[in-house]
Structure 1
Amino acid sequence: MTAQNFSKLDKSPMDAAAFPTSYKDPNKKIKVVYSRPQLNNRELYDLVPLGKVWRLGANESAEITFYEDSHFGDTPVKAGTYSLFAIRGEKTWTMILNKDLNAWGAYSYNPNQDVARYNAIASIDAESIEAFSIAFDDQETMYLAWGTTRVAVPFKRN
């Protein structure tokens, strides 16, 4: 057997968030796979420019899988896997579902492939989160957190 070359841990490791959140519930309705960049003494507004399409994480664009038909904000979406992007605004973030998959960053983002957009309200929290994070609550709302910025995106099943 020959030695293998294994890469070191990525600086922005991959993670996943799912709804329902309990590991005891195997019947997931939604799953997001994304990478978790760190602030590393930088500011969010330097890493996620205002008004520019962002991959929602690092490395590959985030991907979201709906295991059954759902709503992204107010827009009905079919079960399937989509890329997930965001455009940071002053008070709202435009969340974007897109058909193009396996994209590196937002470099090849094509708005003609958008399935849905949702303007999510951004808020500021006292606690700063070092690593970009995505989580769901029990009401099927997805939360983005990085630094002191929080963004809530509601989902609901058909």
Structure 2
Amino acid sequence: MCATKRRSSAPSSRARRSVRRSYDGSSTINPREVTSMLVNTRFATALLVGSLALASAPAAAQEVEEVHPGKGGSPHEAHTWTVGDATIKITYGRPNLKGRDLDELVSESAPDGPVWRTGADEATTLDVSQGLKIGDLSVPAGTYTLYTLPGESDWQLVVSKQTGQWGTEYDEGQDLGRSPMTKETLSEPVEQLTFKVDETDAGGTLAIEWGTTRVSAPFTVGQ
């Protein structure tokens, strides 16, 4: 009599990994595969969110032009930013810290008073194609000189109508006005004096960084 081959009712290991059969004949997905799918989906979602955040981060377009090499290793550069329909150009000498103390350098640069030229050699100039409102200060389109008034907790940005002078020449009577600047401490020191313009939803932020000090003031385009 021939032996009858009996088929095992148990599913193969491959079948157990992918699909389980319930008693009513319906299919159920393996829980391990569900967990793996969820993990992969969450990871892909996190990558997409991160990419969108980086893509949407506002950044003002900038152009840099060397004006002249300067004296004592402080090159003069013209930095131009575009914020909305406005063009903002700041021309200044960029000294290096070289291990020195920022407060001492400010004192040396302003021996006759607290106002600092915020640069090297010639006065730092600001050219704006459209009117700006820096804090509460309205700055019409035109050319100006920038100074700062350093303080222990906060600084002030000084906008002067006088132009073309040497950096240490300051006439308070020529002030267009002043605007407060918020002072922060940077985690990493900045070796070379740097002006920055960052674009925001409301307009932009004008910032100055040197050493571990950062001071900034918000602005809007149009007065």
Give the TM-score normalised by the residue count of structure 2. Answer: 0.61
Higher RCO (C-alpha 8 Å, min separation 6)? 1
Name the structure where strand makes up a greater proportion of residues: 1
Report the counterpart of residue 98 of structure 2 in structure 1.
40
Report the counterpart of residue 166 of structure 2 in structure 1.
104
1:9 CA drift (Å): 3.7
1:155 CA drift (Å): 1.6
Name the structure where helix makes up a greater proportion of residues: 2
1:19 CA drift (Å): 2.5
Alignment of 1:21-100 (within 5 A): 28-49=86-107, 52-100=114-162
1:28 CA drift (Å): 4.8
2: distance between equivalents of 1:9 and 1:36?
A: 10
Q: Match of 1:54, SS?
A: coil
Give the TM-score normalised by the residue count of structure 1. Answer: 0.85
Residues 46-83 of structure 1, C-alpha deviations (whole Å, 9 max, x = no match): 10139711111111111001101111221212100000
2: distance between equivalents of 1:66 and 1:125?
A: 28
- Regions of 4+ moved over 6 Å: none
Q: Match of 1:53, SS?
A: coil
1:17 CA drift (Å): 2.6
Q: Match of 1:152, SS?
A: strand
1:144 CA drift (Å): 0.5
2: distance between equivalents of 1:142 and 1:69?
A: 14
Letter in 1 for 2:193: F
Is the contact between residue 118 and residue 147 of structure 2 (CA under 8 Å) also seen in structure 1? yes
Q: Does 1:138 align with 2:199?
A: yes
RMSD of equivalent CA atoms? 2.0
